[in-house]
Amino acid sequence: MIIRTIAPMIAACCVLSAGAASADAISDFYKDKTVSIVIGGSPGGGYDLLARTSARYLGKHLPGNPTVIVRNMAGAGGIIATKFTYGTAPKDGTVISVANSNTPFEPMFGTKEADYDATKFNYLGSPGKETSILTIWHESPVNSIEDARKIELKMGSSGNNSTPSFYGRMLIETLGLKIKLIVGYPGQNDALLAMEKGEIDGYPSAFYNSLMSTRPTWIADKKVKLIVQYGASPEKAIPNVPFAPALMTNEDDKLLWQAAVAPLALGRPYIAPPGVPAERVAALREALAATFKDPDFVAEADKLQLGVSQTITGPELQEIIERTYKTPPKVIDRLRKIAN
């Protein structure tokens, strides 16, 4: 009787001791360390602003309270930063990345530069899904989708394989818009500056959250026109802007958009390299989730309009990745033709 009573207590103590030892090991590892958050865009953009804001709180919630810094690694629509995270970055949990939403799907799209296996990243979490908008400067004569089918729009983009270029070609393919892509802008912020200067008419893939955080008065002051939006679901704040996937009448076009907006369903995903020890991945996921719920972070994020109200967990991000990589081959073939 005594043995039967004591045995469960001993087992419970062992479990608690193991958990405490694991927590101590994580704390010991991160103590006095520096954790880098790598950004695939230029300073001043929406990804950059989100990363710098979260960096101020992440260290508080990670055992050992390491210093957290941000590193910009712009180029190739975020692919350079993602390749670094996959291959060169230390696999010990001291380097994570806020990946551009397109980069986990570039291998599926057949992008040659994307020589990594996106299913092997450790997905940590995301502040929420994204909605993209074909955004043009108020001086343009284009006011609607119908106008954009008749009048050519010069649209800024970072590179031929970047998110804005891909979605620009999607809009050409499925809606018949007359878009001329002008590449060479490192990030969205650079393209928005070019809009103000009159170098280009607009940007084919302005994220609503990024637009509101970096140019919070543009929509209200009618500095820009929002021609069409697209994503996993319409943005409730702009109900009068047409939703591209809902405009599709052809079944193949519907399937095409379903796969094409999967990156937007990821939002702004935080990822860690393959090979990071599982216990550190778990600690990073917990710390990021706690950061997204931190009242001070939420208050600052709301003030900056960063859009962190519908957070997504790491396992949920992983499920989106796995589901999208099972897209029918005929749809993937069409996506690849548009992406390249």
Domains of the chain, CATH where assigned:
20-129+266-339 (3.40.190.150), 131-263 (3.40.190.10)
What is the pLDDT at residue 18?
A: 45
pTM summary value: 0.76
Instruction: Report the C-alpha gap between 262 and 234 in whole angstroms.
Output: 14
What is the pLDDT at residue 162?
A: 81
What is the pLDDT at residue 269?
A: 96
What is the pLDDT at residue 262?
A: 93
Q: For the chain, give the number of residues.
A: 340
CA distances from 236 to 224, 225, 239 (A): 18, 17, 6
CA-wise closest residue to 132 among 319, 40, 268: 268
User: Is residue 161 within a helix (H) or strand (E), and if so which, with residue range?
Assistant: none
Contact at 8 Å (CB) between 157 and 165? yes
What is the pLDDT at residue 7?
A: 55
pLDDT block averages, 10 residues each, the chain of length 340:
54 48 86 96 87 97 98 91 97 97 90 94 94 96 98 93 89 97 89 95 92 92 98 93 96 93 93 98 98 96 84 95 92 90
What is the pLDDT at residue 104?
A: 95
Instruction: Report the C-alpha gap between 170 and 163 in whole angstroms.
Output: 10
